[in-house]
Amino acid sequence: MTGVHCHSSAIKQRAHHAHQVFHSKPGWFNPQFRGLWSGRLWITFQAEHRPFVIQEANGIKHCSKATYMEVVIRPNAEAATDLVARVIARELRDHPRLVLGLATGRTMESVYARLVQMHREARLDFSGCHTFNLDEYVGLPGSHRNSYRHYMNHHLFLNVNVDLRNTHLPDGAAADIEAECQRYEKLLVRCGGIDLQLLGIGLAGHLGFNEPVSSLRSRTRIKVLSPVTRAQNEPLFAAPDAMPRRAITMGVGTILDARRCLLLATGEDKAEIVARAIEGPVTSMISATALQFHPHCAVVLDEAAASCLQEADYYRWIFENEPQWESYRNELDGADLDGHPVNPVGRKKEAAPALDGG
């Protein structure tokens, strides 16, 4: 591996303890905790008890089974992408009125290409769903080729049967950006909150555009883009100066309110930040670390993006052996585009349990 500095002693030290991390948050109920370590509350629970957590999101109460953060390592980017697309497709088939949180970036392009293929070849139906994107550049109207509205129209919306009126992004060209942020949060509440939030991760460790020093309770607001993010995304613009310096982004708190999160990262350049996000200490400097608080989050990686993880073998073992992973394994064993298993060789095929690991 070149150019990646991994296995910092801090990561190693914390990963050693990091079988599970949960944070005690108002409105959540966690029945067991083992201790306070390095100023952080480490809560472990026994897998066989799988306690329910009660989560209050924007006034909407719902219960879900608490799970570990799920880390799935696939052999290559194509396999990782395919798994993510199949998980989304299954959720959409099971819940046609799904509220889907969407992300942008190069990584997501292949996910959307796969979903479009499923729509065309297997009638994956988007007609009942609502979508909410994480972010938008300030100052770019939806017609601008670098706006995220344009990206979404181009890569997904215009290629499937979603009702464009049900696709939502912050309006980066709004006259009153503050009011626009509040409108977006209210719209999310009116739609019942996000059921499944798709996430990428930037080299700055951001979710959406939650740049370093993003409050872990933040809501949709404006953020100034960091130098790392500017360097990552500037090549997509005609000239470096053409890239806006600010963006509207869902807050970290907004993202944590999603009932389920699904993060995809591929490639060696993401390896170090992925390790810090999953195994490092929670910090507002790396907003993706906040996912350690989330009760139902899966991180899907290719081998390259997983190459700095301290506990990669542990995650592989869990994935291959634990019953709650069965449905994911079914996705990988091969299914046709309709999501029906295709009778893999050498693996017992059972009825897939719910994706929440139940």
- Listed as own residue / partner, the contacts of 106-112 with beta carbons closer than 8 Å and 24 or more positions apart are 107/81, 107/200, 107/264, 107/265, 107/266, 107/267, 108/155, 108/198, 108/200, 108/264, 109/155, 110/77, 110/78, 110/81, 111/81, 111/84, 111/85, 111/198, 111/264, 112/155, 112/156, 112/159
d(CA 285, CA 277): 10
Site for ligand GLP in 219-238 (CB under 6 A): 229, 233
Under the criterion CB under 6 A, does residue 172 sit at the interface with ligand GLP?
no
Under the criterion CB under 6 A, does residue 209 sit at the interface with ligand GLP?
yes
Nearest CB to ligand GLP, comparing residues 158 and 236:
236
The enclosing H or E element of 186 equals helix 177-190
Under the criterion CB under 6 A, does residue 205 sit at the interface with ligand GLP?
no
Contact of 219 with 170, CB cutoff 8 Å: no
Q: Give residue for tokens 């064993």.
A: 333
Under the criterion CB under 6 A, does residue 245 sit at the interface with ligand GLP?
no
Question: Out of 170, 193, 200, 205, which residue is the one contacting ligand GLP (CB under 6 A)?
Answer: 200
Q: What is the dihedral sign for C-alpha 242, 246, 249, 253?
A: positive
Nearest CB to ligand GLP, comparing residues 1 and 231:
231
Question: Out of 55, 67, 81, 104, which residue is the one contacting ligand GLP (CB under 6 A)?
Answer: 104
Q: How far is the CB of 44 from ligand GLP (least distance, A)?
A: 29
Nearest CB to ligand GLP, comparing residues 254 and 327:
254
Question: Out of 21, 72, 118, 201, which residue is the one contacting ligand GLP (CB under 6 A)?
Answer: 201
Contact of 81 with 113, CB cutoff 8 Å: no
Site for ligand GLP in 128-157 (CB under 6 A): 134-135
Under the criterion CB under 6 A, does residue 106 sit at the interface with ligand GLP?
yes
For residue 222 the two structure tokens come to 């404006």
Nearest CB to ligand GLP, comparing residues 135 and 331:
135
Under the criterion CB under 6 A, does residue 103 sit at the interface with ligand GLP?
yes
Under the criterion CB under 6 A, does residue 105 sit at the interface with ligand GLP?
yes
Residue nearest to ligand GLP (CB): 105
Give contact residues for ligand GLP (rule: CB under 6 A): 103-107, 134-135, 200-202, 208-209, 229, 233
